[in-house]
Amino acid sequence: MSIAPVRHVLVFFIVAALYKEAQATCFDDPTADACKDSSSFYNDTAINTDMQSLCTAMSYMTGCNIMNDCNSKKLTGVYCQPWSLISDVCDTSTGETMSMMKGCQANYNLLCKTGTKVTGCGTPVPGMIPTKTLTQRVYDYCQIQDPKPSGCNGCAANGMGCVNPLTTLSEMCKKDAKEQYCNELTKFCALHAKDTSSTSVFGVYCNFATRASMSYVLTVVMVFAGSWHASQLSW
């Protein structure tokens, strides 16, 4: 064998080894600056694979409803980006409790540790309603709806069978925004009232509200939060 082919083989294995090392480094220590761009070790295809796994296991999760609407182009924009979608399920900042699912543990949890530099970690839809809360509101409201929207069919108290619960709750709140069922959705919508285009979060899930009313709700929420914080400091 001549020297040139051997050299090419060696270069190939060196590059492959460096690529593998880069992968291992970011999954072991995502706080390195080199891990900011995940396209070489956790790209959109890999993220979508994890999302499919998660939503096959628990299709009634809030994040899966959002993914379905993104796939159908009903919803568009930054919250349809793969990193945002998997954050809807795996990130815990919204109160979601699905981080121990295999689809989160395999990659997201390893890359999105405290201090991570990976761009995309922790980017769920702001104010997203956790699955447990959302499906409970849907189930409870379905009990008094007549006629019931299709999303109520088969919806159990534990969330099982609640198809696209965010869409279903939005439909029921559009009919009658009863506070005990629509409170979380109203607050969620208030956070997204700046963009009322038809394919925005507000346009898709908040058609029971107006931008003006949501601005008022957001102001009240912020004032209440500020008053509560001040009262805690006075102790």
Return d(Cα 222, Cα 217) in angstroms, integer. 9
Return d(Cα 185, Cα 32) in angstroms, integer. 38
pLDDT per position in the chain (235 positions), as tens?
Answer: 555 554 654 555 554 554 555 456 899 999 999 999 999 999 999 999 999 999 999 999 999 999 999 999 999 999 999 999 999 999 999 999 999 999 999 999 999 999 999 999 999 999 999 999 999 999 999 999 988 999 999 999 888 899 999 999 999 999 999 999 999 999 999 999 999 999 999 999 998 765 545 544 455 445 444 554 444 444 4
DSSP-based three-state secondary structure for 9: helix
Contact 98, 90 (CB under 8 A): yes
Domain boundaries along the sequence of the chain: 3-111, 131-233
**What is the DSSP secondary structure assignment for residue 121, as one 8-state letter?**
T
Contact 24, 33 (CB under 8 A): no
Integer-rounded Cα Rg, in Å, for the chain is: 22
Tokens linked to 170: 């939005």
Phi, psi of 22 (to 5 degrees): -65, -40
